[in-house]
Structure formats: C-alpha cells, structure tokens
Amino acid sequence: MYQQPLPPEYAGMGDAEAASRIRAAKQALGSRVVVLGHHYQRDEIIEHADHRGDSYKLAKDAGSHPEAEFIVFCGVHFMAESADILTPDNQIVILPNLAAGCSMADMANFFQVKRCWKELGEVTDTDRIVPVTYINSAANLKAFVGERDGTVCTSTNAPTAVGWALENGDKVLFFPDQHLGRNTGVRLGFDPDHDMVVWDPFKPLGGNTPERIRDATFILWKGHCSVHKRFTVEQVQAARAKHPDVRVLVHPECELEVVRLADHNGSTEYILRTIEEAEPGTTWAIGTEINLVSRLAKEHPDKTIFCLDEQICPCSTMYRIHPSFLCWTLENLVAGRVVNQVKVPEAVAAPARKALAQMLRVGVSRD
Ligand code: SF4
C-alpha cells in the first residue's frame, strides 16, 4: 500500500522529541486511543504500547477495548486488517506506516490460491480439503478460507487448529508458511516425506503429480519468513560448541531441521514464557526476531540470552514503524484528522471474520 511521505517536521525528528510528543498526544487522547505493539517492534515503540503481544494475543486485545475510538496497531498490515475485522464499525484501526507489510504474507495472493484450489479440484475432492491460513495473510485469503469452512491459525494455536481441520476433512491446504505447516504436521505425528507435499504456485499442479496430491495429508504452500529462514543447523551446532550448557529455543517458522535440533520450539508467547520460567544462571540461544531477543536479554539479566544468528535479523517491515510515524499518526488524531486507516470492505470482512472466529473458537493448546 502507498504511504504518503511524512511532513518535514516529522521526517527529521529525533527519538527523544518523538517520545515526548507521543506521550503528550496519548495523554490528550486518553481512553479514545489504544496502542498495540507487536513483540518484534523496537523498544522506542513498545514503551508507548498499552498492550504488547504476538499476533494472536493482539487480535484478542484489539477486541477488548469497546470504549476506544482508535486502535493504533504497531505491527504489520495483515495484523491491522485482522483488528479491523474483529472490531465494531465505529472503531477505527490505524497502521502508522502503510508500507509495513509482511514478506511471507506477500508470498500467497488470492488469485494464486484460487487457482491452486481449482487445480486441486481436478485431481482430488476439495470437499475433503480444509484450508488453513496462517494469520500472516491478506484479508481476502482469510475470506477465501472462511467461505470454505476453514480456519485461520497462529503459531500459538497451529497444532490445535490443524488438529481441528483434520477432524473435519482428510487433507489440509496450509498457507502461506510451509515451515509452520510442516513443523505442525510433524508435531501431530505425520511424516514430512510421505504425508506432505509442497505447492509451488509457479508450477502446474504446484510441481506435484496427481498421485502425490491424492496420497498427501498436507499440501504446504511454498512460502517462508525471511527472518526465521535465516536460522540454520550450523548456527545451532556453533552455539552448542561455544556454550556446552546452552538451551536452544526457536520459533516454528524455522526450518524442520533447525526445529528438530533445538531443545524447545514454540510461538512468540511460548518463547517469552519459557524464558520467564527458566532458572537463573541458564544460557539460551534464541532463534527469533532480534528486537524480541534483545528485550528478553535486557529484562532477564540473571540469564545469558543471545540470538542464534550472530549477524542479527530484524524484521525489516516491522521496523518501518518508526516513532516519527507513530507521532504523526497520534498528533493527527489530536487535531481531529484520521490518517492511515486500514479498512476491510464488509464483503471480504464477513467471511474473513468467520475464519478468524473459528481460530478463536479452537483456542490455544499450551505448548
Ligand atoms: S517476522 Fe517474518 S512473518 Fe513476521 S512480519 Fe516479519 S517477515 Fe512477516
């Protein structure tokens, strides 16, 4: 989406000035505004967040403030769309920088998924396929899933959501992250070589034979997270060589080989809980976004915590929510102007809401 350039007074703004002006604007707006901050946001944004969380928690938090006129979502575009879908019409959802997207979400678009479904229908019975979309997807893909009685999932509830899908069908079409789909299937006891195929949207039948499609339980979209794909088996081995007592904790968007070698894997909220509950003096190599790892290291000085990737890996699209954008957004609200509203048309929102409601209904299994 197009982001208009910031006016010059914001474009050159330093962090200290932005922080004090954000605080003043929030104070002026009072309970009219709620600021949500994803864990991957930088500290200079998180300090202003009324709630922080992963996409699952923030989707729920967005719906828990009926008194607020404005929900300012410091995350990426699909998260703001989900918040808009889950909140009443009188609440306005704002993304401080419209250029904050998600490279993984962009790896599956509506036309590709529609074509995939049609091609699947030529070789197998799509009435027995349950589509499951990761929350990291555009609203029209959530609507596609809702129209076919599927569900949205997050990394927090993927095993529960996929388990539910397989009680309601014989196969799952999982998009857009093949790694979360594969790791979830393995966790549920499926064989990644026999029970799963990868669907490449640029090849006929996703690059598969009709027989392989018919045999498979999981059809995994060929997408990935550019941050979590950076973590490797070699990094895990290097961490263990350097710190013999290290425990390796990774996100399930990492590749299967990395997840298998790790001591623990789970969603962002699981990573937080694991570190909170860890014994003082323990050492942790974490495979997830660097802003979260750095914050955990700061908040838990009694433990040794470092990122598995020494080259560090911020989510470059999350990083586009600079404090100057948040300041610009809030000061416009104080002046009575709404900028950067994210609004999903009702024709898309209604079926997407059905898929999101299914996600909330299946709930969360404690990792
Ligand atoms: S960390 Fe990966 S999945 Fe999450 S918003 Fe960034 S690119 Fe998307």
Q: Does this model's pTM top 0.75?
A: yes
Report pLDDT digits (tens) over 190-235. Answer: 999 999 999 999 999 999 999 999 999 999 999 999 999 999 999 9
The band of 311, judged by pLDDT with boundaries at 50, 70 and 90, is confident
Give the Å distance between the CA of 253 and the centre of ligand 1: 9
The band of 57, judged by pLDDT with boundaries at 50, 70 and 90, is confident
Give the closest residue (by CA) to ligand 1 atom 5.
102
Cα 235 from Cα 328, distance rounded (Å): 40
Residue 179 CA: distances (Å) to CA of 91, 182, 203, 256, 260: 35, 5, 19, 7, 12
Report pLDDT digits (tens) over 182-192. Answer: 999 999 999 99
pLDDT value of residue 167: 97
Could you tell me the two tokens for 40? Answer: 């991957």
Query: What ligand 1 atom has the least distance to the C-alpha of 40?
Result: 1
pLDDT value of residue 366: 40
Give the closest residue (by CA) to ligand 1 atom 2.
225
| CB contact set of 245 (below 8 Å; sequence gap of 6+) | 282, 283
What residue ranges in the chain does DSSP mark as E strands? 33-38, 51-53, 70-74, 92-94, 129-134, 151-153, 171-175, 196-199, 218-221, 247-250, 264-265, 283-287, 304-307
pLDDT value of residue 95: 98
Three-state secondary-structure class, residue 67 = coil
CATH topology of domain 228-307: Rossmann fold (3.40.50)
Residue 73: alpha-carbon gap to chain centroid: 13
| pLDDT value at 290 more than 80 | yes
Establish whether residue 102 lines the binding site of ligand 1, counting it when its CB lies within 6 angstroms of any ligand atom: yes
The band of 142, judged by pLDDT with boundaries at 50, 70 and 90, is very high
**Hunting for tokens 């490449």 — which residue is that?**
200
Domain definitions of the chain by residue range? 8-102+317-336, 105-225+350-362, 228-307
Q: What is the CA radius of gyration of the chain?
A: 21
| pLDDT value at 281 more than 80 | yes
CATH code of the region 8-102+317-336? 3.40.50.10800
Instruction: Please state which of the ranges 126-140, 244-258, 353-367 shows the lowest mean pLDDT.
Output: 353-367
| pLDDT value at 130 more than 70 | yes
Report pLDDT digits (tens) over 82-122. Answer: 999 999 999 999 999 999 999 999 999 999 999 999 999 99
Superfamily grouping for domain 105-225+350-362: NadA-like (3.40.50.10800)
Residue 27 CA: distances (Å) to CA of 31, 42, 73, 140, 216: 9, 21, 17, 36, 55
pLDDT value of residue 364: 58
Establish whether residue 254 lines the binding site of ligand 1, counting it when its CB lies within 6 angstroms of any ligand atom: no
| pLDDT value at 80 more than 50 | yes
Can you name the residues that pair with 93 across neighbouring β-strands?
A: 71
